[in-house]
Amino acid sequence: MIQKMVIDEIKLECGDTLRQVEVAFETSGTLNEEKTNAILVCHALTGDACAVGDEEQPGWWEGLIGPGRYIDTNKYFVVTSNVLGGCSGTTGPASLNPETGRPYGADFPVVTIRDMVQLQYLMVKRLGIDKLFAVVGGSMGGMQAYEWAVMYPEMMHLVLPIATSARLSAIAIAYNDVGRQAILSDPEWKRGHYYPGKGPVNGLSIARMLGMITYRTADLFEYRFGRRLKDERDVTQFDSTFNIESYLRYQGQKLVERFDANSYLYLLKAMDSHDIGRGRGGIKAALERIQARVLSIAISNDLLYPADHQEEVVEMLKASHKEVEYHFVESIYGHDGFLVEFVKIGPLVEQFIEKYNTGIFKQSAASR
Ligand SMILES: CC(=O)SCCNC(=O)CCNC(=O)[C@H](O)C(C)(C)COP(=O)(O)OP(=O)(O)OC[C@H]1O[C@@H](n2cnc3c(N)ncnc32)[C@H](O)[C@@H]1OP(=O)(O)O
Ligand SMILES: N[C@@H](CCO)C(=O)O
């Protein structure tokens, strides 16, 4: 079940201060008496706080987390929150600005991955947790996991960045900008002040279509759709549609129904700004701060977060004598493998966290 808390204020990297910040979060499992069994899960671009879910709403990582699953909620207390700037319960551009009583729209301040993590830190502290057992996340969630380990090195024992990197690649920034331009050039964007209207749904839908191409692979599309047409029309007809086109359009429409275009723009910007070395003397210097043991997982054919970028970070961690484990997972999905390949990723996550849990936390009687 999704809960809410309000954080009085947060000072952002851009210099602005946000007040009365709402945070939507989900908890699963039981926090032990010593408050040592908490795992924070960070979500990707269009994710939300519903990672584990319940009977009413499936969670986007329910294949990985739950009772008796790879991250076992009979043992661990799992917390997930919607990110700052999001549109699923946490304060974002569609929220009411307490100073004007109107939605922020494009007046919402620029937020970074570091700002998201700072808000999560305030939430975790409010929950009475002084040290997390682990922080885990995929994609933009993995960016947050890296930032957690750098910003609050004493706050966790383990960090598990998956399908991500320490800095956003040029190709990912490039794709982000095409998505952004699709939204900005939609006349319904109205300079970001389109509420209570639906806003630039066409632009957002096109941005998602492009996004989906980057989250998957050519092999997957070839295997699933090939050159099959959606209906019996001949390919020489102007309005003939290939199955892959119909699939992408469907995915575009589906996102429009659950996501706010301004949030999409702000989260893309946050991803673009992601570089753990920014203002810290470079990535290697930033990694020096990390105290947690690291499990890094890369996925084959990840167009946005190529394995060699992740391997580069792993080598830097090793050179700094950090404890780090690295795995390369083969997947026809490419980047989105982190949302699908539970049978491959799950055992790696489980073995890593179970290897270190002895002595770090004692299972409370209630959770045995
Ligand atoms: C970490 C995060 O927070 S990210 C947020 C996670 N995102 C979500 O949970 C929502 C987005 N969902 C997804 O990205 C995917 O569903 C995943 C990754 C969870 C699973 O991927 P897949 O099993 O490959 O699903 P896929 O991408 O093929 O989509 C299937 C949908 O496409 C539809 N579809 C398939 N082929 C076609 C076609 N030719 N034409 C139109 N629609 C099609 C299916 O009917 C199905 O519809 P439904 O979603 O309404 O049931
Ligand atoms: N499917 C993921 C891709 C970005 O990691 C999402 O929609 O957030």
Which two three-digit tokens encode residue 354? 């179970």
208 assigned ligand-binding residue:
yes
Domain ranges of the chain: 2-168+276-367, 172-270
In ligand 1, which atom is closest to the CA atom of 51? 3
Instruction: Extract the tokens encoding 97.
Output: 């600005």
CATH architecture of 172-270: Orthogonal Bundle (1.10)
Please state whether the peptide bond connecting residue 347 to the residue before it is cis, i.e. omega within 30 degrees of 0.
no
Query: Which mutation among 42, 50, 57, 60 tests ligand 1's pocket best, with the greatest number of atoms within 8 A of CB?
Result: 60
Which residue type sits at 212? M
Indicate whether 318 pLDDT > 70: yes
| Average pLDDT over every residue of 323-337 | 98
* 1 three-class SS: coil
Radius of gyration (C-alpha) of the chain in whole angstroms: 21
* Residues 259, 266: Cα–Cα separation, whole Å: 12
What's domain 2-168+276-367's architecture?
A: 3-Layer(aba) Sandwich (3.40)
pLDDT per position as a tens digit, 216-256: 999 999 999 999 999 877 888 888 899 999 999 999 999 99
**Closest ligand 2 atom number to CA of residue 215:** 3
| Ligand 1 pocket by Cβ (under 6 Å) | 43-44, 46-47, 60, 138, 141, 243, 246-247, 250, 336, 339-340
Q: Locate all alpha helices (DSSP H) within 273-337, ordered by sequence.
A: 283-288, 307-319
Report residue 364's pLDDT band, with 50, 70 and 90 as the boundaries. very low
- Give me the pLDDT at residue 232, please: 73
Give the mean pLDDT of the chain. Answer: 96
* Rounded mean pLDDT, 100-129: 98
For residue 361, the model assigns a pLDDT of 67
